[in-house]
Amino acid sequence: MKIKRTYLFLVLLAFIGTSCNKAQNVLTEDEKAAGWELLFDGNTLNGWRDYNGNELTGPWVVEKGTIKAEGHGSDASGYIVTGRQYENFVLSWDWKISKGGNSGLLYHVFENPKFAVPYITGPEYQLIDDANFAEPLEEWQKCGADYAMYLPDKAKLHVNPAGKWNNSKIVFDNGHVEYWMNGEKTIEFEAWSDDWFARKNSGKWENAPEYGLATKGVICLQDHGYPAWFRNIKIRELPRKPMNVKLFNGVDLKGWDVYGSELWYVEDSLLVCESGPDKQYGYLATNRYYNDFDLSVEFRQEANGNSGVFFRSFIEPVAKVHGWQVEVAPKGNDTGGVYESYGRGWLVKIPDEKEGFLNEGEWNKLRIKVQGDNVQTWLNGHEMVNISDRKIGEGQGRIALQIHSGGGIKVSWRNLDLKTL
């Protein structure tokens, strides 16, 4: 009997040892069936590269089955990102931080040379050693926060100390957001809600117009000058839910941001743009991104009429728009054509035989459909443009109405109805 008990005890010890040495950076069969994807294979940094770069130059290494931030980064450098973008997802990862360390994981990071650092666009799940950090921390800087936006529920926030492993999770489901720490939900909010915009526009991000607006982007790890380790990074994508949106409510400019000194106002339930005394470019941009959509809008050129509808565009302060424009202009100036403000200029001009489709001084209906790399436009039911362009396919951003420089311009708009695709 003693021999049997000894044997059973050894078997139990072996089982406990096996459980404690759970395989890392692998998916179970159930996870694979549910659609989970590993973002780190445990052996290489394949699939990761520098932020705004094409390759990986550091300061990151693989160490004992982990991605290690070596601690040589700074506020301006040391960011690595996934090779592809993610939109709606459940993201889970294990992490540990060095004593007094600081790091983070960002998502929906929109890469562009105009954005020098990823946190200008992507929200951050803060990872930091609160207890031993060298400087005093604001609550919005502490571990588990949606950095500079939402605070975790302290009653549910249980973080293991520096040098010990933690598990975090982010759920982003068509604007519904949850942050989890070690199995407890600690934060829940709705992105792009009135509350969200109030926080964005009154704090750290008030001068960062594109912060948090991207609906998709790369996942980013931060080396903020301290060693940190990551493993078991896995993601499961969630489906996009289509929406029908009235961009203009007929009452005020809610849902829009004004850039520049030109005039935008509501009169007789119409949205009106008019040249101001500075006679410069002016823009009225949605405060949300719409990437794949079918938009119909009616316009009437009251005077001159040199305007346009930008799509997949973003703002460079104070009043510069980068993206693509469907032209609205006086007859003979390519209404319905597509222009790029990035540098290539006109992508498609309108042939002379289509210029007669514009009804000057009367209401016109413009339809714009953007899906993937394809753009189609119609003016009063007549197809004007049908192009596919790789660069457009890589873009994302706002819809923005333009008023051209030069003065003397006045255009009325109504029935801005959009369906996301």
Q: For strand 166-173 and strand 176-181, is the pairing parallel, antiparallel, or unpaired?
A: antiparallel
Q: Per residue in 45-101, pLDDT tens?
A: 999 999 999 999 988 999 999 999 999 999 999 999 999 999 999 999 999 999 999
Residue 112, token pair as written in the block: 């562009």
Cα(154)–Cα(142) distance, integer angstroms = 11
Report the amino acid identity of residue 354.
K
pLDDT along the chain (421 residues), means of 10: 44 40 92 98 98 93 98 96 98 98 98 96 98 97 98 98 98 99 98 98 95 98 97 98 98 97 97 95 97 98 95 92 97 97 95 97 98 98 98 97 96 98 97
Cα(418)–Cα(310) distance, integer angstroms = 14
| SS3 annotation, 130-189 | HHHCCCCCCHHHCCCCECCCECCCCCCCCCCCCCCCEEEEEEEECCEEEEEECCEEEEEE
Measured over all CA atoms, what is the biggest interatomic distance in the chain, rounded to whole angstroms? 102
pTM over 0.75: yes
Cα(284)–Cα(266) distance, integer angstroms = 12
Cα(362)–Cα(299) distance, integer angstroms = 8
SS3 103: strand
How high is the pLDDT of residue 86?
A: 98
How high is the pLDDT of residue 242?
A: 97
Question: Is the CB of residue 103 less than 8 Å from the CB of residue 221?
Answer: yes
Task: DSSP letter for 43, please.
Answer: S
Residue 114 bridge partners (DSSP): none
Cα(129)–Cα(161) distance, integer angstroms = 7
Task: DSSP letter for 117, please.
Answer: S
Cα(382)–Cα(61) distance, integer angstroms = 56
How high is the pLDDT of residue 4?
A: 47
How high is the pLDDT of residue 275?
A: 96
Architecture of domain 21-237: Sandwich (2.60)
Residue by residue, DSSP assigns 291-351 as -SEEEEEEEEEEES--EEEEEEEEEETTTEEEEEEEEE-STTS-TT-EEETTTTEEEEPPP
CATH 2.60.120.560 boundaries in the chain: 21-237, 244-420
Q: Closest Cα partner for 288 from 322, 254, 316?
A: 254
SS3 content of the chain, % helix, strand, coil (to 5): 10, 40, 45
Q: Closest Cα partner for 301 from 370, 404, 189?
A: 404
Question: Is the CB of residue 39 less than 8 Å from the CB of residue 82?
Answer: yes
- Which residues 6+ apart lie within 8 Å of 21 measured at CB? none
From the candidate CATH numbers 3.30.300.30, 2.60.120.560, 2.60.120.260, 2.40.110.10, the one assigned to the domain spanning 244-420: 2.60.120.560
Q: What does the radius of gyration of the chain's CA atoms come to, in whole angstroms? A: 26
Burial class (CB in 10 A: 0-12, 13-18, 19+), 390: exposed
Q: Per residue in 9-32, pLDDT tens?
A: 444 444 344 334 689 999 999 999
How high is the pLDDT of residue 2?
A: 45
How high is the pLDDT of residue 21?
A: 65
